[in-house]
Structure 1
Amino acid sequence: MAKLRWGMIGGGEGSQIGPAHRLGAGLDGHFEFTAGALDHRPDAGRDYGKRLGLAEDRAYGDWREMLAGEKGRDDRIDLVTVATPNATHFEITKAFLEAGFHVLCEKPMTMTVEEGEEIVRLTKSTGRICAVNYGYTGYSLVRHMRAMVARGDLGRIRLVKAEFAHGHHADAADADNPRVRWRYDPAQAGVSAQFADCGIHALHMASFVIGQEVDRMSADTVSCIESRVLEDDAMLNLRFDGGTVGRLWTSSIALGNQHGLSIQVFGEKGGLRWAQEQPNQLYYMPLGQRLQVIERGEANLSPEADRTSRVTIGHAEGMPLAFANIYADLAEAIRAEKDGRAMDPAANLYPRAEDGLRSMAAVFAVAQSGKAQGAWVDARPPMFRT
């Protein structure tokens, strides 16, 4: 089977996220890294692209040059990943969708709800894919959780509890560090810091696993380091459209926590818990029985879990492999479109533009509720309220 052609914008030398995308895209042999505009410095981007193996005429200086160069080619890229600073996501994603390309955008998809709604409408009018990289939902056992909930193993879901709390911004002496400072500056980060950075991952995972969307929320936001304008800690109460109650905590001052993403789901007939730092184990407590440990890679898991497990049981799978599962989903979607067939339902799990829009609406809802001392607010984007 011929490889699909893949391009990347951003993710240059020294980037935190770039290598994870390149590993994920290439892992299963679905995509060939064909084109890139990898750095905001044109010469540096071209040089790094060539060192990564791009042809000289497809190692571009910026995204506009890449768009102009790719859209007229017979062998144009099938998918482009946007991994640039947050404020540029909307403009780049919109331009490539309008030119007929499929897009995987890093989160947040946009900086405003209105921009998010425009992207959703654009995907519908163009028929192009706009995926959003909530990559943690690519983990095999997260997908197995979703399958267990969907098939009724836990009965009606009563409560979901999600966390994404780390301690890497806990040092007040770091307040002037430019790598940290911008995150809490409204001029650069928008209306939210910690929730927009990490909390939306926990919120998306909760919705993904239980198959419900947030209707309303109440948020308590605080800047524990007083010099910060935007929040470094937030606690949310949530109500989902299927009747489930949600609790979400996100923090950047939780000393002792490293990554800190975890989720627990409690139903009428059982409970589940999973943590990103121990992704090979899913803890399952059926009502009236003993605690069970489900291991990634063991026999008789769901098709969604089997499809996304590559190495044998007992060997760790990490974030790049979770990213690879998102890319494998997208490869299946693109090939299904090319072949005129339905895609494998076990692969039809990649986060969509609608998810990116809901996340941005939640960001503004958290900011609104936090300023109103925790008042309950509508968390839905306006286009989904009717």
Structure 2
Amino acid sequence: MARLNWGMIGGGEGSQIGPAHRISAGLDGKFNFAASALDIDAAKGKAFAQTLGIEGDRAYGDWREMLAGEKDRADRVDLVTIATPNSTHFEIAKAFTEEGFHVLCEKPMTMTVAEAEELVKLAEAKGTILAVNYGYSGYSLVRHMRAMVARGDLGKVRLIKAEFAHGFHADEADADNPRVRWRYDPDLAGVSAQFADCGIHALHMASYVSGQEAETLSADFASGIPSRTLEDDAMLNIKMSGGARCRLWTSSIAIGRMHGLNIQVFGERGGLRWAQEQPNQLFWTPLNGRTEIIERGAGNLSPEADRASRVTIGHAEGMPLAFANIYLDLAEAISAHKHGRTADSAATQYPKAIDGLRSMAAIVAAVDSAKQQGVWVDARPPMLR
């Protein structure tokens, strides 16, 4: 397969997420980093792009300049990654999708449910790929969990426990740090802070592994630092589409917790548990049996897990490799789209616009529930009810 051209918006020098995307996109040699608009400071973004090997005429000052410069090129970018602040996602994703570009957007995909529904419909009408970077779904053993549930190893799923809790925003003295403050500013972050930032990763993981979607939910939000307008801790109870219950906790004030993305799935015939900080092991306990540790890279797992396992057994698998599996999926899907063939079925598991829409609906529902002291509300987007 010939290399595809890739472009990036946001993720400039000093960005937290930018390097992970650049490492991941380049890992398999499927993408050529061809164009970018990396920084709100145009000169800074252009200069940094050229240190990364971008040609001067494709080191753009902003996303509008990039769109104008790329849309009519014979060698235009095949995939655009959007890694800008939340409030800009919709406008940029809409503009590039309208011009027929394939897009990978950081989460949350939009700031409102209406915007998310518009993007889902637009991508469908244009026949383009619009993916959302729930990158943790790229881990090999997460895909194995999904395969085990799908083939019935657990029987009917009864209960899911999902967490994404860390303590890096727990210092009240750090509340005015601009790298922290924007996350709790409704004008930049939207209607939710911690749940929209981290909790939806846990919710997406619960849905991705179980094959069930959130239908109704009850939420409790808290601001451990009183000056914050938006929540820094949330607890949700969720009724899933297949009958399971999901218990979800997310926090940014849980001192001592590091990354904190964990998931447990309990069914009629067994239970699974996995933690992102120890991604090489999946714990499987069959009903009335002993716990088995499933090692990543052991081979002969599910085809989905084997395809997503990149390094030999016993070596650490990290977040950029999980992200790289999303890019590998997208490379296959885009190549199939360009050449009019069917994509490898194992490459269709990347998170899609519909996942971004469901997450946005859950965010709005959780905010609504929390304001009403935990009343149960519909978590589905209107177009899917």
Query: By the TM > 0.5 criterion, same fold?
Result: yes
**What do the CA deviations read for 1:97-146 (whole angstroms, capped 9, x no partner)?**
00010000000110011100000010111000000000000000000000
- In 2, Cα distance between equivalents of 1:330 and 1:187: 32
Which consecutive aligned stretches of 4+ in structure 1 deviate over 6 angstroms post-superposition? Answer: none
- Percent same amino acid among aligned pairs? 74
**What do the CA deviations read for 1:68-98 (whole angstroms, capped 9, x no partner)?**
1101111111100011111110000000000
Residue aligned with 2:121, SS: helix
In the other structure, the counterpart of 2:94 is: 94
**Alignment of 1:280 onto 2:296:** no
Residue aligned with 2:289, SS: coil
Residue aligned with 1:187, SS: helix
- In 1, Cα distance between equivalents of 2:243 and 2:58: 50
Q: Which stretch of the first structure deviates more once superposed, 375-384 or 218-227?
A: 218-227
Tell me which amino acid in the other structure corresponds to 2:274. Answer: W
- In 1, Cα distance between equivalents of 2:181 and 2:153: 45
Residue 56 of structure 1 deviates from its aligned partner by: 1.1
**What do the CA deviations read for 1:326-372 (whole angstroms, capped 9, x no partner)?**
00000110111122221111111011111111111111111100010
**What do the CA deviations read for 1:301-346 (whole angstroms, capped 9, x no partner)?**
0010000111100000101000000000001101111222211111
RMSD value, Cα: 0.8
Q: Which runs of 5+ in 2 are unaligned?
A: none
In the other structure, the counterpart of 1:204 is: 204
**Alignment of 1:321 onto 2:300:** no
Residue aligned with 1:5, SS: strand
In the other structure, the counterpart of 1:36 is: 36
Q: Which runs of 5+ in 1 are unaligned?
A: none
Q: Which stretch of the first structure deviates more once superposed, 166-175 or 82-91?
A: 166-175
Q: TM-score, normalised by structure 2?
A: 0.99
- In 1, Cα distance between equivalents of 2:178 and 2:62: 24
In the other structure, the counterpart of 1:168 is: 168
- In 1, Cα distance between equivalents of 2:164 and 2:257: 9
Q: Which stretch of the first structure deviates more once superposed, 111-120 or 342-351?
A: 342-351
- In 2, Cα distance between equivalents of 1:178 and 1:339: 45
- In 1, Cα distance between equivalents of 2:178 and 2:45: 22
Which runs of structure 2 are paired with 1:68-87 in the superposition (5 Å)?
68-87=68-87
Residue aligned with 1:359, SS: helix
In the other structure, the counterpart of 2:369 is: 369
In the other structure, the counterpart of 2:253 is: 253
Tell me which amino acid in the other structure corresponds to 1:252. Answer: S
Which runs of structure 2 are paired with 1:1-386 in the superposition (5 Å)?
1-385=1-385
Residue 186 of structure 1 deviates from its aligned partner by: 2.0
Q: Which stretch of the first structure deviates more once superposed, 261-270 or 179-188?
A: 179-188
Residue 191 of structure 1 deviates from its aligned partner by: 1.3
Residue 176 of structure 1 deviates from its aligned partner by: 2.2
Residue 225 of structure 1 deviates from its aligned partner by: 1.6
